Amino acid sequence: WKSLTGLHIDYLLSHSHFPTVIPVVILLLSTVNLLDSKASQGELGWISYPSHGWEEISGVDEHYTPIRTFQVCNVMEYSQNNWLRTNWIPRQSAKKIYVELKFTLRDCNSIPLVLGTCKETFNLLYLETDEDQGIRFREHQFSKIDTIAADESFTQMDLGDRILKLNTEVREVGPVTKKGFYLAFQDVGACVALVSVRVYFKMCPFIVRNLASFPDTVPMDSHSLVEVKGLCVNHSKEQEPPRMYCSTEGEWLVPIGKCLCNVGYEERGSSCQGKTTIVHFYSFQHQFPSLLDVWSGWRKPYNSSVICIFKEFVGWVRGVTIVFSGMVSNTSNTWFDAIPFAPFQKDRASRNSISLSWLEPERPNGIILDYEVKYYEKQEQETSYTILRSKGCNVTLSGLKADTSYLLQIRARTAAGYGASSRSFEFETSPDSFSISSESSQVVLIAISTAAAIILLTVLLYIVIGRFCGYRRSKHPDEKRLHFGNGHLRLPGIRTYVDPHTYEDPSQAVHEFAKELDASCIAIDKVVGAGEFGEVCSGRLRLPSKKENCVAIKTLKAGYTDKQRRDFLSEASIMGQFDHPNIIRLEGVVTRSKPVMIVTEYMENGSLDSFLRKHDAQFTGIQLVGMLRGIASGMKYLSDMGYVHRDLAARNILVNSNLVCKVSDFGLSRVLEDDPEAAYTTRGGKIPIRWTAPEAISYRKFTSASDAWSYGIVLWEVMSYGERPYWEMSNQDVIKAVDEGYRLPPPMDCPATLYQLMLDCWQKERNNRPKFEQIVSILDKLIRNPGSLKITANTSPRPANLLLDRSSSEVVQSLGTMGDWLDNVRTLPCKEAFSGVSYSSCDTLPKTSAEDLKKVGVTIVGPQKNIVSSIKALESHSKNAPVPV
C-alpha cells in the first residue's frame, strides 16, 4: 500500500491535472508565510512517532521542483496512532494563523480486505510554546484544531485512469499568543499523503493613500478592525489626520483624512515633488539685460532655488528657463509670446472704421513706451499693411473698406525694444446698408430685458395664483391626506396613510384604526423582549367564535404620562392602517383597562438582526433572498401608502417560524427617540446614522428614497448575517466616509447582483435609487433564476479600497468576462432592458454590438437582433430619461 501512495504522489506531482499554484496577487501581497513545506528542498526533519508511521519522501511538484512530502498507509493494521510533528514555528507578529494543507486520501472502499480498519480522515493539532522544545514530544499537550476529511478520495480505478484528486483544506487558529507553536498530524489508520503544508497570517500591507503612509499592520484575531494612523509623506503636511482601518482579512478599509503637499511641491503619484515652473521671457532686440534685469518685475517664487539658463542666443535672448529644486524643465522648441494681449475687444465697428482696445500686458519688462498696431486686408495676405502707433491701449482705424475682413496684430515697445507680436485678430467692417453701433446694440439689449421681465412677472403671478387656488382646494378634507406622502403621485381610489397627529384627539385615531380588545381574551405567557414603554410578552388571544392565536403583547408600564400614552398608542394607530403579509399585523389594543396594551401577531423568531447572528452562515442564498423580497414587498406597500418609515433596519424587522420577514416599529418621532442606534445630529434630530441616507442626515429629507438607502443597509446586514454596518467606526467617521463617496464592501460570498443592488440603493442622488417596486421585481427574478446567485461580488476583482464608490457600470463590468456579464445581465437589473423596462444600471449596454454578442455565443440572428435593438431602445430612452424609469 505504501508503494501505492508513493506511486500516486510521483504521478501527482509530476503531472499538472490539479490546478497549479497561482495564488491571487492580492493574497500574496497580504499574507506572510510562517512555514511552507514546499520551499524546503532538503529534509524537513519533522518528528514522526512511532517511526514506522508517517514517512518523509521526496517528490517533485508540477514544475519538477523537488519537494518533501509525508505519507502513511497502515490500513492493514488495527489501532493506528501515528503522529507527525512539525519543527517549532516562530509566531512573528501573527495574532491568528491559517494552515493550508494539500493532501490526497485513498477511498477505503476501494481497498479490498481492509474494511473496518481503514479510516478516511486524519487530525490536525497544535501546541503553543514560548521556546523550541527540540525533540521532546508529548501527545496530550496538543490541542485539536479539526478532523480533516477529503472532499475527494481516490480509488484504484482512478489510479488506473490516472485521475488524481488533490484536496486543499484551510483552517484558522487563533488567537495565538506564545512565541511559537508546533503543528501535528495524527493518523488513525488512513492511507494519506500530505503533499504540502503552508502556515501563514494575513497582513494589511504597507500602503500610501491620500499622501499618507500606513505601515504593515497585523489584523486582530477577532472581528474587529485595527485603526491605523497614517504618516504624511515627505514634503507634505496633514490637512486632516489620515486614518484607515485594517480588516481581519488583511484589507485596508475606509481611508479618512489626508495630507497635502507643502507650498512649492506638487503631488506626483504617491509623493510630493518639487514644482518645476517655466517662466517665459520676452525677446530683447537691442540690449542684453543682466540677469537682475530679467528678474525685475518677477517675484521669486516662494521656497524655491532658482538657476537661470539661457537656452538660446541668436543676437538677443529668446527664452529663459527657471529651474526649481534641481529639476531641469525642458523648454526645447518652446517659443514664447512676448506680451500677451488679452482680452482684446472690438469697441465699435462701422462701414469704414473700427475702434479697438486691449489690456496692458501683465508683466512687461519695463515701462511701455507705445504700442505698434499693424493691420491689413485679410485677402491681401500681408502684402501691403498699415502701421499705427498708440500711446494708450486703444486705437481707431479709419479709411477702411466696407464689408471687408481685416487682420490685426499688436506689439508693445519698452526701453528693451519690441516684444513679440500678439496673435492675429480678425474683424469685419459693416456692410454699406447696415451698421451696428454699440448704441443700437444697447437698444436691442433693453428690448430683450423688458421682454424677459414681462415673462418673469407672468410666471410669478401664475405661481402665486396657483398656490392660492391649491390652498383653497387642499382645505377639502379628503385631499388633505395627500399631503402626508413622500411626493409620490397616488391615484385616486388607492388608500393612503393618515398621520394620527392630524387628529385633534389622538385616541380618536386609535379607535378609528385599531380594534378595542377585552383584556379577558388575552393570556400572557412570558416576557420576550423589552420595548421603550414596557415589556413585550408572548401570549394567546382568544376572540369569541375564533380560534386561539399566538400574539405578542406590548404593555405600557405604570406611571406613564399622557404624552407617553399617546406616543405608545400612535404605533397602533399607524399599524392598524396597514394590511399586508410583510407588515406586522395589529390584532387590537386594550385602552379601557390597565395595563394599556398593543396586541400584534406573534413572530416566533424575534428580530431579524439577532436571528441572523444566531444562525450565522446557515441559510441558502435563496432563503436570504426570500427574506429580502418580503421586506422589499412590505416597503413597497408602505411607500405606496405614502408612509416613510425612517428607521428601516434589521433590528426593526421581525421573523416568524416560516422565515417570513415583516416590517415593524412604526411611530412618528418616537421611533427614532427609542431606537438605541439613533444619535443626535448637529441639527438636533435623533437619527440612526448608519442606516440613514445622507440627505436625511444633513437636512432631514426623509422620503421613500431615503428608505431605499436604508433598505440597502438592511440588504448588507442580511447578507453578512447581522454584522454591524461600518463595524465599530464612529458615527462621525461614517458620515464623513459616506459623504466622501465610500460605500460598504460586499459581505463575504455576497452574490454580485445583490451587491449591485446595494450600491444602487446607496446612490448619492436620491432619484437614482431604485424604487421598492423595482427592488421587488429584481429579487423576484433572482428567485426565479437561482443560478445567478452563484457569481459572488468577492470573486470579482476588487480594488484595495473596499469601502468603494464605484459606478454601477464599473461593478457590472467587474463581474468578469463578457460571457459572465451577459449571464448576469439575465438576472441583473439590466435584464429589465430586454423586457422593456429600463433601469439605471445599464450604462454598459449601449456599447454592446451584434459583434460583441456573437463573440459570447449569441449567434442566432433573432435573439441577437432583439438584444441589440433593445439596447438601442434603452440608449435612446436613457438619453431622454437618465433617471430610473
Catalytic position from the list 567, 640, 647, 675: 647
Verify whether residue 579 is a known catalytic residue.
no
The annotation status of 197 as a binding-site residue, yes or no, is no
528 carries a ligand binding annotation: yes
Instruction: Report the DSSP pairing between strands 207-209 and 212-214.
Output: antiparallel
**In this structure, what C-alpha cell is assigned to residue 606?**
424575534
d(CA 680, CA 672): 10
Cβ-based nearer residue to ligand AMP, 40 or 610: 610
SS3 content of the chain, % helix, strand, coil (to 5): 30, 25, 45
Check residue 665 for interaction with ligand AMP (CB under 6 A).
Answer: yes
Task: Determine which residue in the list 430, 573, 607, 774 makes contact with ligand AMP, applying CB under 6 A.
Answer: 607
Q: How far, in Å, CA of 167 to CA of 378, rounded?
A: 84
Question: Burial, 428: exposed, middle or buried (Cβ in 10 Å; 0-12, 13-18, 19+)?
Answer: middle
Using CB under 6 A, which of the segments 120-128, 327-335, 393-401, 598-606 binds ligand AMP?
A: 598-606
> Residues 859, 865, 871, 872: is their CA dihedral positive or negative?
positive
Q: Which amino acid is at 879?
A: K
Sign of the dihedral through C-alpha 758, 761, 764, 770: positive
Which residue's beta carbon is nearest to the bound ligand AMP? 529
323 in contact with ligand AMP (CB under 6 A): no
Query: Which CB atom, from 321 or from 607, has the smaller least distance to ligand AMP?
Result: 607
Instruction: Report which residue type is found at 840.
Output: S
Cell of residue 709, nine digits = 438607502
Asked whether residue 532 is marked as a ligand-binding residue, the answer is: yes
The reply to whether 624 sits near ligand AMP by the rule CB under 6 A is no
Whole-number Cα distances in Å, 233 to 16, 258, 262: 46, 11, 10
Task: Write down the H helix ranges in 366-437.
Answer: none
How near is the Cβ of 653 to ligand AMP at its closest, in Å? Answer: 10
Query: Contact between 199 and ligand AMP (CB under 6 A)?
Result: no
Half-sphere exposure of 367 (CA within 13 A, CB side): 2
Q: Where are the beta strands (DSSP E) in 729-814?
A: none
Q: Where are the alpha helices (DSSP H) in 576-658?
A: 608-614, 621-641
Q: Answer yes or no whether residue 650 interacts with ligand AMP by CB under 6 A.
A: no
Question: 490-529 mask for ligand AMP (x: CB under 6 A)?
Answer: --------------------------------------xx
Supply the minimum distance, in Å, between the C-beta of residue 801 and ligand AMP. 35
Nearer to ligand AMP, 254 or 599 (CB): 599
Closest CB 558 distance from ligand AMP, rounded Å: 17
Q: Is the peptide bond before 492 cis (omega within 30 degrees of 0)?
A: no
What span, in angstroms and rounded, lies between the C-alpha atoms of 568 and 562? 10
Q: Is residue 208 a known part of a binding site?
A: no
Residue 679 marked ligand-binding? no
Q: Is 529 annotated in some ligand binding site? A: yes
554 annotated among ligand-binding-site residues: yes
552 binding ligand AMP? (CB under 6 A): yes
We find the least distance from the C-beta atom of residue 665 to ligand AMP, in angstroms, to be 5
CB 673 to ligand AMP: min, Å: 12
Each residue 556-595 as x (binds ligand AMP by CB under 6 A) or -, in order, gives ----------------------------x-----------
**How many CB atoms neighbour CB 157 within 10 A?**
10
Residue whose CB is less far from ligand AMP, 528 or 668: 528
CB of 482 to ligand AMP, least distance (A): 29
Among 340, 417, 595, 606, binds ligand AMP (CB under 6 A): 606
Q: Phi and psi of 134, rounded to 5°? A: 65, -135
Nearer to ligand AMP, 135 or 530 (CB): 530
Q: Least Å distance between CB 676 and ligand AMP?
A: 10
Using CB under 6 A, which of 220, 536, 668, 748 touches ligand AMP?
A: 536
Asked if 648 is part of the footprint of ligand AMP (rule: CB under 6 A), the reply reads no
233 secondary structure, DSSP code: P
Letter string b/e over residues 211-232, b meaning 16 or more CB atoms within 10 A of that residue's CB: bbbbeebbbbbeeebebbebeb
* 576/513 Cα distance (integer angstroms): 5
Question: What residues are annotated to the active site?
Answer: 647
For the annotated binding site for ATP, the residues are 528-536, 554
> Which residues are near ligand AMP by CB under 6 A?
528-529, 531, 536, 552, 584, 600, 602-603, 606-607, 654, 664-665
Binding-site residue ranges: 528-536, 554
